């Protein structure tokens, strides 16, 4: 008589016995370790980004997203005056800094006198009296833009990420523009 094989029960005097099922395979913990590392790395990246943003916001006092009216820090307005982006008596009604570092190198402003865009070291300014038309649209899934056309066919386009209150920026612009031109209206396009 031969010894039982790995999947057989030993001989029984009561007759033949069915084969045993193979023993369960031991699962590897490697997949769980890799998954845990990926989750931990993702959490660290998100936490680091938040910490950097909070630290940089405290350093230069630039607000995040579109900021309206009195919520705009006076230090941010003072920095704009120092850089001669706005005139000494000009009031900022809406503010949008599109940089991650919030260093005011790329921004859009609605003031009581004009709409202003700062980008690549240049400042573009269109007084409300010169605005012929304006269009606010959702251009891509994550972008909204305000396009302003002046009398001399000069145009300005300010892009705002969707979750940053682009509608509030547009509303501030439209309100300031209507003071100069009461029949003015921004064309709003939804996709």
Q: What contacts 97, CB < 8 A, 6 or more positions away? A: 62, 63, 64, 103, 104, 106, 107
Q: Identify whether residues 97 and 48 lie together within a single domain.
A: no
- Lowest mean per-residue pLDDT among 28-37, 54-63, 79-88, 152-161: 54-63
Q: Identify whether residues 75 and 154 lie together within a single domain.
A: yes
- Residue 114 is predicted with a pLDDT of 93
| Number of separate domains in the chain | 2
- State the Cα–Cα distance between residues 108 and 63, nearest whole angstrom: 13
Q: Residue range 10-30: average pLDDT?
A: 61
Q: What contacts 76, CB < 8 A, 6 or more positions away? A: 61, 62, 63, 95, 104
Q: Identify whether residues 38 and 119 lie together within a single domain.
A: no
In sequence order, what are the beta bridge partners of 148?
134, 156
- Residue 57 is predicted with a pLDDT of 45
- Residue 92 is predicted with a pLDDT of 92
Q: Identify whether residues 94 and 184 lie together within a single domain.
A: yes
- State the Cα–Cα distance between residues 3 and 19, nearest whole angstrom: 14
Q: Residue range 154-180: average pLDDT?
A: 89
Chosen domain end from 60, 77, 105: 60
Q: What angle do CA 110, 114, 118 make, to 5 degrees?
A: 65
- Residue 4 is predicted with a pLDDT of 55
The verdict on residue 11 lying in a domain is: no
Q: What is the mean pLDDT of the chain?
A: 79
Q: Residue range 74-98: average pLDDT?
A: 89
Q: What contacts 139, CB < 8 A, 6 or more positions away? A: 145, 159, 191
Domain span holding position 38: 31-60
Identify the residue with better confidence: 29 or 15: 29
- Lowest mean per-residue pLDDT among 25-34, 129-138, 175-184: 25-34
The verdict on residue 98 lying in a domain is: yes
Judge whether 172 and 93 are in contact, CB under 8 Å: yes
What element of type H or E holds 145?
Answer: strand 143-150
């Amino acid at each position: 008589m031969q010894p039982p094989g790995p999947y057989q029960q030993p001989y029984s005097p009561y007759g033949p016995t069915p084969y045993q099922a193979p023993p369960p395979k031991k699962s590897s913990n490697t997949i769980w370790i890799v998954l845990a590392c990926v989750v931990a790395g993702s959490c660290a990246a998100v936490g680091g980004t938040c910490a950097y943003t909070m630290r940089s916001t405290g350093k230069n006092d630039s607000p995040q997203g579109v900021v309206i009216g009195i919520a705009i820090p006076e230090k941010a307005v003072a920095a704009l005056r120092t850089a001669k982006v706005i005139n000494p008596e000009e009031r900022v009604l809406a503010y949008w800094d599109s940089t991650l570092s919030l260093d005011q190198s790329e921004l859009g402003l609605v003031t009581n006198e004009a709409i202003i865009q700062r980008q690549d070291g240049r400042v573009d300014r269109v007084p409300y009296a010169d605005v012929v038309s304006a269009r606010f649209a959702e251009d891509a899934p994550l972008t909204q833009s305000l396009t302003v056309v002046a009398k001399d066919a000069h145009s300005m386009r300010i892009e705002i990420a969707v979750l940053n209150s682009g509608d509030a920026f547009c509303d501030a612009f439209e309100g300031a523009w209507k003071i100069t031109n009461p029949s003015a209206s921004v064309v709003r396009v939804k996709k």
